[in-house]
Amino acid sequence: MDFELVDVLRDGALTVITINRPTVHNALNEQAQRELAAAFDAFENDDGQWVAIITGAGDKAFCAGHDLKQQAQGGAMYMPPSGFGGIAGRFSLNKPVIAAVNGVAMGGGFEIALAADIIVADARAQFALPEPKVGLAALAGGIQRLAEAIGMKRAMGMVMTGRRVDAAEGLQLGFVNAVVDGDVLGAARQWAEQMLACSPMSIRASKQAMQRFAGISMEQALQEQWAYPAVRALLSSEDMVEGPKAFAEKRAPAWKGR
């Protein structure tokens, strides 16, 4: 597959995947989603690639999530079978992934970061699941993974308000592993180097053992949530249409609650 919106660099056993849409804060349209899925497919299936880093182009955004403007203009809200960004639903991947968060990680962008195993954040990074503010919900794993990472009450505080959390607070809450002032990709590479110094078989076995420890699997949660009455109601609601439309028109949304 030819990549236009995603850059893929292979450096020895390390794959660096960069979302390259800086003019729209690296928000993902359908093409970018497909390219990310293909990039992670290649990483997962290449025995010579042991560790991946996912980051965003520029110095303002890691990923602003789903391209709401595309949706408001009638574009499909496309998500690959492997989940948002080609990773959020990729439960078969037992190789480590590091998110080098170089700026804002909003909505689906935060969900991509949460789907990674390690989050290294620039001190200026901002995280949020603001979907309720535009009539959506973080249904690509963000709700479940955030609760798993920081606890139900803390996650509720973020999800139910859509508030932004900076890198320092993310470190305190526990979903960020390290905060750096400056070269976040370089810091992520240092983490990767430590992983590459370990047995890839040991790393993969350790990751899989940790992932399957929970009482209910993330895969089961993501599969079952689509049948929840409140989710089904959201997906067919007027508010889900109104939110992206108001965002594109730069006005306050007029919620209907139906």
Tell me the two tokens of residue 161. 């308000």
- Residue 215 confidence (pLDDT) above 80: no
3-state helix, strand, coil in the chain (%, to 5): 45, 15, 40
Tell me the two tokens of residue 230. 């409140």
Q: Which domain holds residue 20?
A: 6-201
pTM assigned to the model: 0.92
Which residue out of 111, 193, 238, 242 is catalytically annotated?
111
Asked, for residue 91, whether it belongs to a domain, the answer is yes
30 has catalytic annotation = no
Residues 139, 96 contacting (CB under 8 angstroms): no
Task: Compute the distance between CA of residue 110 and CA of residue 123 in angstroms, rounded to an integer.
Answer: 16
User: Is residue 76 very low, low, confident or very high in pLDDT (cuts 50, 70, 90)?
Assistant: low
What pLDDT score was predicted for residue 147? Answer: 96
User: Is residue 72 very low, low, confident or very high in pLDDT (cuts 50, 70, 90)?
Assistant: low
Q: Which residue has the higher pLDDT, 167 or 77?
A: 167
- Residue 216 confidence (pLDDT) above 70: yes
Which of 60, 41, 62, 46 has its CA nearest to residue 14?
46
Asked, for residue 153, whether it belongs to a domain, the answer is yes
Which of these ranges, 36-50, 63-77, 90-104, 166-180, has the smallest mean pLDDT? 63-77
Asked, for residue 36, whether it belongs to a domain, the answer is yes
Q: What would the mean pLDDT of 107-133 be, rounded to a whole number? A: 97
Asked, for residue 79, whether it belongs to a domain, the answer is yes
Which of 147, 100, 109 has its CA nearest to residue 129?
109
Q: What would the mean pLDDT of 23-50 be, rounded to a whole number? A: 96
Which of 235, 90, 92, 122 has its CA nearest to residue 188?
122
| CA quadruple 114, 117, 118, 124: dihedral, nearest 10 | -20
What pLDDT score was predicted for residue 202? Answer: 93
Question: What is the chain's alpha carbon radius of gyration, rounded to the nearest angstrom?
Answer: 18
Spatial strand order of the sheet with 165-166 comes to 61-63, 104-106, 126-128, 165-166
What pLDDT score was predicted for residue 75? Answer: 61
Asked, for residue 242, whether it belongs to a domain, the answer is no
Q: What would the mean pLDDT of 133-150 be, rounded to a whole number? A: 94
Whichever domain contains 192, its CATH number is 3.90.226.10
Asked, for residue 151, whether it belongs to a domain, the answer is yes
Q: Which residues of 145-154 are buried (b: 16+ CB within 10 A; e: fewer)?
A: bbbbbbeeeb
What pLDDT score was predicted for residue 169? Answer: 98
Which residue out of 4, 30, 44, 131 is catalytically annotated?
131
What pLDDT score was predicted for residue 211? Answer: 83
Give the count of domains, the chain.
1
224 has catalytic annotation = no
Percent of the chain with pLDDT over 90: 76
User: Is residue 73 very low, low, confident or very high in pLDDT (cuts 50, 70, 90)?
Assistant: low
Pairing status of strand 126-128 against strand 178-180:
unpaired
Tens digits of residue pLDDT in 115-127: 999 999 999 999 9
